[in-house]
Amino acid sequence: MPRRGQNYKITHNGRLKFTQVKVIDRGKYHCKVENEYKERVLSRVANLVVHAPAEVIDKHQLTRPRHVRVGAYARLSCQAAGIPPPRIEWRKNGELLRTFDKNNPVEKKVEKDTSPVSLTSVLMVKVTQSAAYTCSAINKPIEGRVNDSVVINVTAVPLPVTQTPQARANPIRQECAAYNGSVCRPYLQGRMVLHNRTQGYGPEDMLESHLAEMTALELFAPRENGASQGFCEGPAHRLLCHLVFPDCRDDSSPPLQVCR
């Protein structure tokens, strides 16, 4: 390695000194000495272990309001990173969900030399009432126990019984705009789509609820070898996205022929 880098230097007597250790610096180091006769001597290996406090990733996206109809499932995903790998805990209204580890194992684990170990945990809940769910990431680096958390608010939307005169007087609002949500980002990012908005229950919430319910009913094959989606889950996700967020079209255009 060069004698000097952004955060280290090798002194004249062969010592390696870091000024600010980063995760990318972790690994095994050894010193090689060579004389004028090309004789080489290697030192013992020194293992540099770098710790990083637990951190919940993308908190801004996680804290967006979620509206789910009563009786439907909500799929709450939380990603955390840290070294040592963090432990993820879930709480409902401050009470620890003790059955979480058994019924909701860690869904994905990613470990790279250049970044802290990241874990993705998914909590499936059947919504019966509004509640605040807390995702906490916990680990114990050198400086002691670290706990980082984020609160996800889920609002239960009651099922409509009858259509009141007020509801009939306020029809569904529709608007054509570029998609900038999160649930369908892989398929519709920046695409001009039709947004149908009802009072207190948006298309993003409805779509997320449908996906959670399909997962809870085990309609998709299990995820294997760290895959982000199970068999059929991706195509179903794409199909629902295009169904809930159809492309904006001019109504004056001729209808498409399906059968000839």
| Burial grade of 176 (CB within 10 A; 0-12, 13-18, 19 or more) | exposed
16-18 vs 8-10, strand pairing mode? antiparallel
Q: How far apart, in whole angstroms, are the C-alpha atoms of residue 127 and residue 155? A: 9
- Check residue 90 and give its pLDDT: 92
Q: How far apart, in whole angstroms, are the C-alpha atoms of residue 203 and residue 194? A: 10
Is the pTM higher than 0.85? The answer reads no
DSSP E strands, 40-167: 40-42, 46-48, 52-56, 66-69, 73-83, 87-92, 95-96, 106-112, 115-126, 131-139, 146-157
Q: pLDDT digit string (tens) for 90-131?
A: 999 999 987 655 545 455 566 665 567 788 888 888 888 999
- Check residue 256 and give its pLDDT: 45
Q: What is the CATH number of domain 51-159?
A: 2.60.40.10
Q: Is the pLDDT of residue 78 over 80?
A: yes
Domain ranges in the chain?
8-50, 51-159, 163-249
Coil, helix or strand at residue 170: coil
Q: pLDDT digit string (tens) for 179-215?
A: 888 788 888 888 888 877 654 556 777 777 777 777 7
DSSP state of 12: T
